[in-house]
């Protein structure tokens, strides 16, 4: 499975949306250089309040551009980075990946998928009423489907740029369903 990076974003302050960037430097075990969520322990403010020593499983947030297309069809005009993601991809079924899947971004960087982004009410506040419901769905069995992207840790750092390839480097033999992190 191979895709492409269509947009990159980061922000040095804790804000919902991130600023578009032409490139990002990923730091192994930390996250995006200069991003407020970079660090070996949790940086997300609500998680810091619960356990500041917990490992940071949310060093990098990826969203598939296909979600932005879907939201556009529902009347939401969302730009890359507006949902807080660092990397917007196209052509990779991020939500269908197994926990533990390793993706190569560009020529150097290697990340490991840790789980799903758990969307919060700030989506409605920052994008518009109904956006939160639009990034959630229900499976045939009634279970909740979270579509707001995946989270990852950085195994090997490197520079990533728009237009770089996204390649699955390794995946577990058996699917390990993604859960919220």
Domain 2-170 class, CATH top level? mainly beta
Instruction: Provide the H-helix boundaries in 42-178.
Output: 45-50, 65-73, 122-127, 131-134
57-109 pLDDT, tens per residue? 999 999 999 999 999 999 999 999 999 999 999 999 999 999 999 999 999 99
CA distance 72 to 162: 21
Beta bridge partners of 166: 3, 105
Strands (E), 52-135: 60-64, 87-90, 102-105, 109-116
Domain residue limits, the chain: 2-170
Q: Which of 109, 96, 102 is nearest to 149 (CA)?
A: 96
CA dihedral 8, 12, 13, 15 (to 10 degrees): 0
Instruction: Supply the pTM of this predicted model.
Output: 0.96
């Amino acid at each position: 499975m191979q895709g492409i990076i269509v947009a990159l974003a980061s922000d040095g302050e804790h804000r919902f949306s991130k600023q578009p960037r032409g490139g990002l430097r990923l730091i192994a075990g930390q996250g995006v250089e200069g991003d407020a969520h970079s660090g070996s322990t949790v940086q997300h403010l609500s998680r810091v309040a619960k356990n500041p020593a917990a490992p940071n499983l949310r060093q990098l947030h990826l969203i598939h551009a296909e979600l932005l297309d879907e939201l556009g069809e529902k009347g939401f005009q969302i730009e890359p980075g507006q949902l807080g993601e660092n990397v917007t991809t196209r052509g990779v079924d991020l939500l269908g990946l197994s926990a533990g899947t390793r993706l190569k971004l560009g020529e150097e960087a290697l990340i490991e998928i840790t789980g799903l982004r758990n969307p919060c009410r700030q989506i409605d506040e920052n994008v518009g009423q109904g956006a939160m419901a639009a990034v959630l769905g229900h499976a045939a069995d009634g279970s909740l489907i979270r579509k707001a992207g995946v989270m990852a840790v950085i195994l090997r750092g490197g520079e990533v740029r728009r237009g770089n390839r996204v390649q699955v480097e390794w995946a577990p033999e058996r699917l390990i369903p993604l859960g919220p992190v």
